[in-house]
Amino acid sequence: MDSRALVSISVGVTGFILGLLTPFEGAYLGIFAGVAALGSGLVGWIVTRQAVDTERRLSMEEKQNKNLEESLSAQIQARLSAEEAVRSLSAELSASQQSELERTQRIEEQIREEVAAQTGDPGRNAIVDPDSGLYSEQYFRAAVEARVAAARRHLRPVAVVLLQVMDNTGDSRTPADPQLVADYLLATLREADTACRTSRGLYAIVLEDTPENGAVWTVERIRRRLTEDHDSLMIWAGVACYPAHAFEVRDLVGKASEALEAATEWHQDRIEVAVTEN
């Protein structure tokens, strides 16, 4: 209990007792005085108690407000730090993308030079398939060499996909329109990927920085887009990945070819993944 309230009550009680001890003829006056003092003490105690409660409540509210201010300040600081981190990450990502683009351009230039050296033709005819507008088979083989070499240096996966797309319109099964297939391939693949057409009419794709599951998903997206718009088309695909299925380029392409051959044994769309030898 607050000391101020105790003093007030003590004064009232003392006055009341003294009133009782006075002579009889003055007892009523003493009792009245004592009662009045006691009442004053009780009123003082009640007022003091209310004041103490008010002070305690104000103190708690002040503490809560201070905690709230500190929490808001911490949240604001955290948000500023997060925004700064996002800006920094965006700058790093932009620089990384620029570096990746430059690396891709360098590899493509190396591939063009290698194809030109192999064919003796530095022009467009050596690297572009005339029927589809995709890269040629010579470009594909040079691209696999370059992509695997880069993947070996940077410890990244590379996927090779061989596609055969057939048209079942009518009673006969014929190869699908090369330009139609090329349009769907280019609309689905990333800029860093390479789409080619071989002399046998197969579609050869090099997927950079892509493991087995990513390659299968990419082929599935191509299959869905083609067959949803052209239900007469049927797609077989063989997938092989470096380094999961082969370390050398010749073996990698051979694995993809074997997987494609297994897929063609089915009388429906089929994606086969190369078998890993133990």
- Specify if 89 maps to a domain: yes
Q: How far apart are CA 61 and CA 73, in angstroms?
A: 18
Whether residues 21 and 64 share a domain: the answer is: yes
Is 132 found in the same domain as 6? no
Which amino acid is it at 219? Answer: V
pLDDT of residue 143 exceeding 80: yes
Give tens-digit pLDDT for 6-51: 555 565 566 556 555 555 445 565 566 566 666 666 666 676 777 7
**Same domain? 12 vs 144:** no
Q: What is the pLDDT of residue 224?
A: 96
Global pTM value: 0.61
> Is 240 a member of any domain?
yes
Q: Which of 101, 121, 141 is the last residue of a domain?
A: 121
Q: Out of 121, 136, 153, pick the residue that ends a domain.
A: 121
Instruction: Provide the mean pLDDT of the chain.
Output: 81
Q: What is the pLDDT of residue 65?
A: 82
| Helical ranges in the chain per DSSP H | 3-21, 27-119, 137-154, 178-188, 212-229, 249-263
- pLDDT digits over 183-201, tens only? 999 999 998 899 999 999 9
Name the pairing type of β-strands 270-273 and 233-242.
parallel
Same domain, 91 and 173: no
Do 88 and 207 fall into the same domain?
no
What's the pLDDT score for residue 94? 55
Q: Are residues 218 and 248 in the same domain?
A: yes
Residue that wins the pLDDT comparison between 115 and 235:
235
140 and 226 assigned to the same domain = yes
Domains identified in the chain, total number: 2
Q: Which of 106, 121, 136 is the last residue of a domain?
A: 121
Question: Does any domain span residue 47?
Answer: yes
Each residue of 85-113: pLDDT tens digit? 767 665 655 555 455 556 566 666 666 66
- Residues 108 and 236 reside in one and the same domain: no
Q: How confident is the model at residue 242 (pLDDT cuts 50, 70, 90)?
A: very high
Residue 278 lies in a domain: no
For residue 176, give the CATH number of its domain.
3.30.70.270
* Alpha-carbon distances of 141 from 103, 144, 153, 208, 258, rounded to whole Å: 19, 5, 19, 14, 17
| 232 lies in the same domain as 264 | yes
Shortest CA distance to 167 belongs to which of 178, 152, 151?
178
Range of the domain at 139: 128-273
Query: Residue 128: pLDDT above 80?
Result: yes
- Whether 258 and 235 have beta carbons less than 8 Å apart is answered as no
Asked if 226 and 102 sit in the same domain, the reply is no
- 262 and 142, same structural domain? yes
Same domain, 59 and 159: no
